[in-house]
Each structure stands twice: as structure tokens, then as C-alpha cells.
A = this chain, B = another copy of it.
Amino acid sequence: MNHARGRVLPEPQRRLLADGRQIAYFSNAETPPEPGVDRREFTPRPTSSPTHLRRDPRTGTWVMMAPARQDRTYKPPRNMCPLCPDETGQSSEVPGTSYDVAVFENRFPSLSTASVGSDFTLPAPITDLEVQAPGYGRCEVVCFTDRHDGSFAELTVDQARLVIDAWSERTVDLLSRDGVEEVFCFENRGEEIGVTLAHPHGQIYAYPFLTERTAALLAEAQRYHAASGRDLFESILDAERSDGRRILLQTEHTTAFVPYAARWPVEVHVYSNRKVGQLAELTEAEADDLARTYLTVLRAFDALYDEPLPYIASWNQFGPTVDGRLHAELFSIRRSRDKLKYLAGSESARGAFVTDKTPETIAAELRAVLPAIETVEQGA
């Protein structure tokens, strides 16, 4: 598979925070906001890894053990927001008077490169039952805007595109590091799903292993290819487009649909029409189109119950050595205006989902709110 870069990625202004963590300021402005200086007094970061991984001997999956995170920042008051810009350099993670998009290493990371050599590799499948490894990898925080109030859905297309460019740059950088097997960009939105910081932000995990879900996707894609000679993700996109009942949006470069076997009461997948493995491969036109489609999906989410919908948005990215296909999965646990979907025994303990709404119903509900949304082309 060809993983050629599809466009020029922005070069951020790179700085260090007081304790040595990296921060990158992304901007498309002709005169980007000037990064500030972090003037906080920090104890230096620990020189031994504060977290570790354990392999679950029953399933072979890795669990991240991060005891220090028990003390992480929990619903701070607005004037203590660690993601707002701070010109004093005293009270926030993002020094400066303003910024467009900022990405920095999480202060309470589950995974870190701080104390592990870059020659790190995880042990391959083994018969030892108690296998540990240092928590090598990286956890980054992506601030979508310097405005404390608001959400991704309220960004302009240009702002959303800048976030996509930041995700692209971070993914390329992190995947290029030895020992990083998977890079996962995601956003959790809503107190209902445990989000403890209101400021619009997402996270990036660079794992030293293939996650359980990614491994399952790739295994099924390989099985399907062996049986049919076809690409699984291409076939899924073709099938959804020709079925049509679950399509939410089709644009020149992207398709958004409720998947055939949606597990969540609200669930939408967004594909680029051209097969690429990751965000950095998209052309300018494709990245712009994806930003518009993604914003429209998020706005449809918020229009569904006339209030911000709690959601998780996750990016499936692959490569350079893995043959998967870029797509976003967005889902919510809200199953009606006043009820949440909880993961009960069948889901949590067995991975067997029960869903109350057919995917066709979900799609119809989302399509019904589309006309009310100021379409991005006409509006912002």
C-alpha cells in the first residue's frame, strides 16, 4: 500500500513546559500567536517510568497500570482551567495570550517515553503468566481552540481542518518512533462519560502494542481478503453506498453512515471515499471535505436532542506497515432524551452488545435533523 503524504502538513512552534514536557502550537495564521513561557515550578518528571503494562494471561491483551493518575485534575473551576491560554505562565498547561490548536504531553500520562529507551519492544506472545513492561508510549492532549466554552461542533471549517492537520502531524511523528505500534486520536465529550475538563479537547495515545480492537479489525480484514480477494473496508463502503438506507451524508470525498451492525444507540462512521491509511495521506481537498462532513455529523448529534450529546469520536488510522483504512467512529451512550445506555453484563463481561434501536432508525433520526443544521457550505 502506498502511504504517500497527500498534502503539506503545518509545522508547529515547538516549546518545552517547565517540567520538560513537549508542547506544540499549530496555526494557519500569517502571524501565529506567540507561545508563552511556562513559569510554573514543577518537580521534575520521574526518571523511572511511573506506569507499567501487564499482559492479561487470559486474553493476551495489555492493560495500562497508571497509579499516579488517581490524583489527576478533576473538574477544576473555570478560572483554574489547565487548557485555557495563560499569559502569566503560572496557572495553565498552555502558556501564551492565545493559541489556535495546542498539543502537549499529558501531565498524568498512562504511557510515556520519558524514561524508556527508544529501543523498547514488548515481548511477543509468551507462556509466562506474569509479564510486565514499562509504560512506554505517549499520551498527548489536543486543545481544539483557546475558547473555554464551546465544542468541536462549533469550530469553523478552517479550525476543524487545523485540528485534522494537527492530528495528521502528530500521527506521522508518533508512528515513526521505534516501539510505537498504534496511534489513536480521540475525543470524549460530556460529563456523562466521565470527562473531567470542560475545555474542548481530545487526546492522543501512542501505544506500544496493537490494541484489541485494531487487532480484531485487521484479523477480520485478512480473513475476508483471503476468502474473497477483496478489501474489507472498500467492500463495506460499497455495500453501504449501494444499500443506502443508513447513509447520512455523501460528498465528493467522504461518506458518513450508520454502520450495518451499530452497537450504540447513536453511531456514525465516516470514511474517506479514496482508500488511505491515515489522515496525513488526504489531499487538501479531501481534508477540507472531511472537516466539513465531520462537523456536520457532530452538529447532527447535538441537534438530535437539542442539547450537547455526550459522545466518543475515535479515529482508526493505520500504517505505514499495516494495510487498514482510515475511518472515524463516532458514538454516543444516550439512548433517548432522558436515558443512557449502560454497559451491562452482556456487553462489559462478554463483549456481546444488545441495542434498542436498529441502525436504520438511528440513520432516519439523524437524517431528520440534517435540514435544520446550518449546512457548512452555506453557513460558517
Contacts and interface: CB of A to CB of B under 8 A. Distances in A.
B127 A345 contact: no
Interface string A191-227: 0011100000001010101011110110010011001
Interface stretch (A153-161, A277-285, A356-364): A356-364
Contacts of A69: 354, 356
Contacts of A62: 261, 352
Most buried by B among A69, A227, A235, A350: A350
A47 to B, nearest CB: 20
Contact of A335 (B57, B58, B70, B348): B70
Contacts of A239: 57, 129-130
Contacts of A348: 312, 331
B220 A60 contact: yes
Interface string A120-141: 0000010101100000000000
Nearest to A344: B188
A349 interface: yes
B59 A220 contact: yes
A288 interface: no
Most buried by B among A205, A336, A352: A352
Contacts of A61: 216, 351-352
B193 A344 contact: yes
Contact of A214 (B74, B350, B354): B350
Contacts of A336: 70
Contacts of A54: 260-261, 359
Interface in A332-347: 335-336, 339-346
Nearest to A341: B194
A276 to B, nearest CB: 17
How many copies the complex holds: the figure is 2
Contact of A345 (B55, B188, B335, B342): B188
Contact of A220 (B58, B67, B110): B58
A286 interface: no
A354 B213 contact: no
Contact of A203 (B57, B125, B188, B345): B345
A305 interface: no
Contacts of A228: 127
A64 interface: yes
A322 interface: no
Contact of A59 (B70, B209, B217, B331): B217
Contacts of A352: 61-64, 205, 207, 209, 211-213
Contact of A223 (B125, B130, B216, B314): B125
A243 interface: yes
A25 interface: no
B350 A57 contact: no
A9 interface: no
Given A64-B355, A129-B260, A213-B349, 18 more contacts: A56-B261, A58-B217, A58-B236, A58-B259, A59-B216, A59-B217, A63-B353, A67-B358, A69-B356, A70-B356, A193-B342, A194-B342, A194-B344, A207-B350, A216-B351, A312-B348, A314-B349, A329-B349
18 contacts: A54-B359, A58-B261, A59-B216, A62-B352, A65-B355, A67-B357, A70-B356, A70-B357, A110-B346, A127-B224, A127-B230, A129-B239, A193-B343, A205-B350, A211-B352, A212-B216, A312-B345, A343-B343
